[in-house]
Chain A
């Protein structure tokens, strides 16, 4: 894992003091709320329906147990004893007092954490593959590149007042576990014909009101030109992205309106200019960062066999573990989606326990996933049973990874000032309807995603089944869509037709899964069946 040096620490400490001063000025009435708003947003502090919400950055979703413990401490001391892990691999606290916010940032800084640029029209936390450094299918660990980008994007003076927020994801596998093509910039690390590592750039993806899949604009950017190329992409956006309409201000609209070819031409022209300026850190800097991401000291004699005689353990292993690149190890997924729970929520005690288990079983490392779960990336197979027992005792072992109850849901109208409808109760009701794990496994991989408004924080466009909450004449109404994917088979979901009320949407989900069970052929996932048979049979079941 990356560790701060004196320079990184000095920057974060300076930010804490700056925000302490800004908060003091606000509380003393020297700043109006209008003046304070952009300042608090640059520090991840939103004013929601009931209280301030603080979003803490977890760069590329990686943290150690000490940092995880700090997240538990904050939940306990400053919030109501829980936190909410988000689709951007961050954590949010929903009940923060403004006067506490500087102390929270100071606490975070003691463990090399912060809330810098977790909101505002700037480059947000860089996200990545939650299995980075552990997955059997990766080309290289994408996190050193993500860290290089994190530093470059932190306090960037030219790109802190962009037309709109800006999200970057970096992956290094053909399997896309980070919804890379649905980011403002998606980067896939690849090798060129000479065997050198570089970055393939996709620009202009996104969800929100106008979902778009980012087109590829360059097949290879060498390591020592990465920052130049990113600068070029951002400069064209900062200069020409629309500022007349907030809803048309994301880079996807610019790329769409210019056309990918013309946008690329402008970026290439700017890139040629950037190269003359020497803005890119030397390769020695990427090498320095990469040193922090060396493999942990695996036990080379660890055995691959696993005793699966306990049937409940077997179900969990089958569903929640993923192949590790090291023989005798597995990637263990901790589902934060218990039946009837709030997707992504964890109590302070659960956070502490996960930190302890990471220390004991996973070389002190945890990951947060964009699907709002936690990962212990390096668990010896012979430890899995003991790990599972401890997770199960704490309600942290739902064996439902990638099944219908492993839903993504935004906070919705229970918390969010933008929402038109509640997301959490819908998620809970669907979870209860499909509570039987045998039934869920029968349905197989099924990604269900719920947003409480058109801004799509719950990724409904990318759901095999997507649900969008809208306000129809003062009544919550839920639109159903089918066929989206945020993975390597990326696609945007299509709406089925008229929406449903809260109970109606639960029935509707059940009806479309019934169509799948009736019409699927061997080995087809829900989304495969939908792609083969199209919308008509589903509409017929829903509306006739």
Chain B
């Protein structure tokens, strides 16, 4: 089991995730794992009882998981969102901004490198589901017209 890195103060959930297929037949599961080709919208009626959604990135270049995370957050998912798989340090800032709370990468990440990556960009041009880096403020266009 790889080590979970958290991006914020939320404690990492220890719920054991089931696959989306299993989830459909397991009405009491509180954690689920989503693969890139699966439709995360299937979860929308069940968001309230989910404590953890793991989104798998089998290869870092497959960016479908970013959309999956955004969709969950846009529909009010308040549990933990965790990126798993081929998660590299240079993707973490984008994950944070799409609403991820944590990552459990295949290859362990250097703690300092994680902090550097999360704190690299002072602002963001887009409004997204996650927090903006460093400034904690809204997108640049919003700051400009405050």
Contacts and interface: CB of A to CB of B under 8 A. Distances in A.
Interface of A: 5, 7-8, 10-11, 14, 17-18, 21-22, 35, 38-39, 121, 151-152, 154-162, 235, 238-239, 243, 273, 277-279, 281-282, 284-285, 288
Contacts of A157: 66, 93-95, 97-98, 124, 126, 128, 130
A158 to B, nearest CB: 5
Interface string B90-106: 11011101100000000
A11 B122 CA distance: 7
A7 B74 contact: no
B120 A155 contact: no
Given A159-B63, A284-B145, A285-B141, A35 B88 contact: yes
A7 B123 contact: yes
Nearest to B99: A157
Nearest to B63: A161
Contacts of B130: 157
A157 B83 CA distance: 14
Contacts of A284: 145
Interface string B46-72: 000000000000001111101100100
A10 B127 contact: no
A266 to B, nearest CB: 12
Contacts of B90: 22, 38-39
A151 B143 CA distance: 14
Q: Which 10 A-B pairs have the closest CB atoms?
A: A161-B63, A157-B94, A281-B141, A157-B97, A7-B140, A158-B66, A285-B141, A151-B125, A279-B127, A10-B122
A38 B144 contact: no
B34 to A, nearest CB: 12
B120 A11 contact: no
Contacts of B139: 281
A176 to B, nearest CB: 28
B116 interface: yes
B121 A21 contact: no
11 contacts: A7-B140, A8-B140, A11-B122, A22-B90, A155-B121, A158-B67, A160-B66, A160-B94, A243-B62, A273-B74, A282-B145
Nearest to B70: A158
Q: How large is the interface on B (under 10, 10 to 19, 20 to 34, 35 or more residues)?
A: 35 or more
B67 A238 contact: yes
Given A5-B144, A285-B141, A18 B120 contact: yes
A11 B140 CA distance: 10
B128 A158 contact: yes
A282 B94 contact: no
B45 to A, nearest CB: 16
Contacts of B94: 155, 157-158, 160
A245 B116 CA distance: 34
Contacts of B61: 38, 121, 161
A83 to B, nearest CB: 28
A38 B86 CA distance: 14
A196 B121 CA distance: 36
Interface of B: 36, 60-64, 66-67, 70, 74, 88, 90-91, 93-95, 97-98, 116, 120-128, 130, 139-145
Contacts of B36: 243
**Most B-side CB within 10 Å, residue of A18, A159, A239:** A239
Contacts of A21: 116
B75 to A, nearest CB: 9
Contacts of A282: 141, 145
Contact of A156 (B62, B121, B126, B143): B126
A7 B70 contact: no
B125 A288 contact: no
Nearest to A122: B63
A235 B116 CA distance: 29
Contacts of A18: 120
B120 A277 contact: no
A154 B125 contact: yes
Contacts of A11: 121-123, 125, 140
B123 to A, nearest CB: 5
A35 B125 CA distance: 26
Nearest to A5: B144
Contact of A155 (B66, B67, B124): B124
Contacts of B67: 158, 235, 238-239
B4 to A, nearest CB: 20
Contacts of B140: 7-8, 11, 151
**Most A-side CB within 10 Å, residue of B95, B130, B144:** B144
A14 B120 contact: yes
A284 B124 CA distance: 18
A182 to B, nearest CB: 24
Given A157-B98, A284-B145, A285-B141, A10 B66 contact: no
A285 B145 CA distance: 8
A204 to B, nearest CB: 19
Given A11-B122, A18-B120, 14 more contacts: A7-B123, A10-B122, A14-B122, A155-B125, A156-B126, A157-B66, A158-B70, A158-B94, A158-B128, A161-B60, A161-B91, A238-B64, A238-B66, A239-B67
B123 A10 contact: yes
A160 B63 contact: yes
B29 to A, nearest CB: 24
B72 to A, nearest CB: 12
**Most A-side CB within 10 Å, residue of B36, B125, B130:** B125
Contacts of B91: 161
Nearest to B139: A281
Contact of A38 (B60, B116, B121, B123): B60
Contacts of B124: 155, 157
B56 to A, nearest CB: 14
Given A7-B140, A39-B90, A160-B63, A279 B126 contact: yes
Contact of A278 (B88, B127, B143): B127
**Most B-side CB within 10 Å, residue of A21, A121, A155, A282:** A155
A57 to B, nearest CB: 15
A279 B122 CA distance: 19
